[in-house]
């Protein structure tokens, strides 16, 4: 018998389960109309300024990209009001998360996170041999007491996803302040703000995360271009952290993390404030449409600060998911986050027309 050729951690490794691609649903059910509302993608299309910038870049594809995208580093740090040395770009927010985990995790280190939360923290850290400490939510919020109580000598990273995916709720200012005050300095605090631009329209969303990095250097604030600017397909995101951590993060992983089209797209997107605000307004309208409908059904949702809503229908979500899929509407059944959530589902916002289609199809399923 030969030796096990695979990395030890792969023995019980559970990779990410992607929602079914549109093409697969089309093949399976032979449908004309399919609305994929499962992955929190922007449904109104990419930022036009990003598309323009990509077109202009196409003729340069024979050249490698800059491993340090000089102009984008300068332009984005200016907009954010930070030093360029604090900014780390990566292949999506997810790519930056992998860089962070590669930078900090040794076998046996512990990470603390909420349950449910964004699955990439668990996936990346566990592959490197980390022990994942999951702290269940308390009602419709984080259990900050329990999360802080889970921190010990072995804790290396503490993940706060705010707004949280899949629920959409946030950590309040008081909760963030408390974490900053009580988390030991030598634990890396990751604040994942992939939905920052959408959440920042709400007055109660804490907006001082960048200032935390100034006071607490072992902090990483994560942001993304995927959701708000509609360029999930090119893969670019970034972190704001201390210069010391930033230098380490840049050094790990592939030399060329971000391709030319992604760099160009982001340079276009950051200038597209109009598009960002238009999307945020449209998102708020769509979200309200969902909430109004759920109210007529007596369904409860987490308060959403994002472009998705997490809702309890009291019905088996796997059944609802399958029935909706047959009708061309793709949602995310709650059971993916554990048995406890089997009557819940997550749906991304879209145009008013898409929301109405979802409502019509749901009514058809329920009849
Ligand atoms: C979408 C998302 C990300 C990162 O998305 P990228 O497309 O990789 O930039 C990170 N965290 C959360 C919570 C997300 O929902």
Residue 59: pLDDT over 80: yes
- pLDDT at 41 (0 to 100): 96
Q: How confident is the model at residue 296 (pLDDT cuts 50, 70, 90)?
A: very high
Residues 6+ apart with CB under 8 A from 156: 104, 105, 106, 109, 110, 111, 130, 187, 188
Torsion of CA 314, 318, 319, 325, to 10 degrees: 120
135: its two tokens: 């702290």
Best probe residue, ligand 1, of 93, 95, 142 (max atoms within 8 Å of C-beta) = 93
For residue 235, the ligand 1 atom closest to its alpha carbon is 7
Q: What value does the mean pLDDT take over residues 355-367?
A: 98
- pLDDT at 21 (0 to 100): 80
Q: How confident is the model at residue 346 (pLDDT cuts 50, 70, 90)?
A: very high
Per-chain mean pLDDT for the chain: 96
- pLDDT at 22 (0 to 100): 84
51: its two tokens: 């598309």
Could you tell me if 239 and 222 are in contact, meaning their C-beta atoms sit under 8 angstroms apart? yes
Q: How confident is the model at residue 328 (pLDDT cuts 50, 70, 90)?
A: very high
Ligand 1: residues with CB < 6 A are: 40, 92-94, 118, 161, 165, 192, 194, 224, 226-227, 232, 237
Ligand 1 mean position to 202 CA, how many Å?
Answer: 20
pLDDT tens-digit map of 222-240:
999 999 999 999 999 999 9
Q: How confident is the model at residue 16 (pLDDT cuts 50, 70, 90)?
A: confident
Strand order of the sheet with strand 131-136?
A: 87-90, 237-240, 219-224, 188-192, 155-161, 110-115, 131-136
Residue 1: pLDDT over 80: no
For residue 225, the ligand 1 atom closest to its alpha carbon is 9
- pLDDT at 68 (0 to 100): 96
């Amino acid at each position: 018998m030969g030796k096990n050729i695979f990395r030890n951690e792969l023995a019980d490794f559970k990779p990410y389960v992607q929602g079914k691609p549109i093409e697969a649903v089309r093949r399976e059910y032979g449908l004309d109309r399919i609305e994929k509302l499962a992955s929190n993608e922007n449904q109104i299309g990419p930022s036009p300024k990003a598309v323009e910038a990509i077109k202009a870049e196409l003729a340069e594809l024979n050249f490698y990209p800059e491993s340090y995208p000089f102009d984008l580093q300068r332009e984005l740090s200016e907009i954010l009001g930070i030093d360029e040395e604090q900014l780390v770009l990566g292949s999506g927010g997810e790519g930056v998360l992998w860089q962070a985990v590669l930078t900090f995790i040794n076998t046996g280190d512990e990470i603390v996170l909420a349950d449910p939360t964004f699955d990439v923290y668990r996936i990346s850290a566990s592959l490197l041999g980390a022990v994942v400490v999951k702290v269940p939510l308390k009602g419709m919020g984080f259990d900050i007491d329990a999360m802080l109580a889970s921190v010990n000598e072995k804790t290396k990273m503490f993940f706060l996803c705010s707004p949280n995916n899949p629920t959409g709720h946030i950590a309040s200012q008081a909760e963030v302040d408390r974490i900053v005050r009580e988390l030991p300095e030598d634990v890396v605090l990751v604040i994942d703000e992939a939905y920052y631009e959408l959440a920042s329209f709400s007055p109660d969303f804490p907006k001082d995360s960048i200032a935390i990095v100034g006071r607490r250097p072992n902090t990483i604030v994560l942001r993304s271009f995927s959701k708000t600017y509609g360029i999930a397909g090119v893969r670019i995101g970034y972190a704001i952290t201390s210069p010391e951590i930033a230098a380490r993060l840049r050094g790990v992983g592939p030399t060329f993390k971000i391709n030319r089209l992604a760099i160009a797209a982001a340079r276009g997107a950051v200038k597209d404030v109009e598009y960002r605000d238009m999307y945020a307004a449209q998102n708020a309208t769509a979200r309200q449409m969902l909430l109004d409908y759920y109210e007529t059904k007596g369904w409860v949702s987490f308060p959403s600060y994002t472009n998705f809503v997490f809702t309890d229908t009291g019905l088996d979500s796997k059944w609802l998911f399958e029935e909706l899929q047959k009708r061309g509407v793709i949602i995310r059944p709650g059971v993916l986050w554990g048995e406890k959530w089997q009557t819940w589902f997550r749906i991304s916002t879209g145009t008013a027309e898409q929301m109405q289609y979802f409502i019509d199809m749901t009514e058809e399923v329920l009849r």
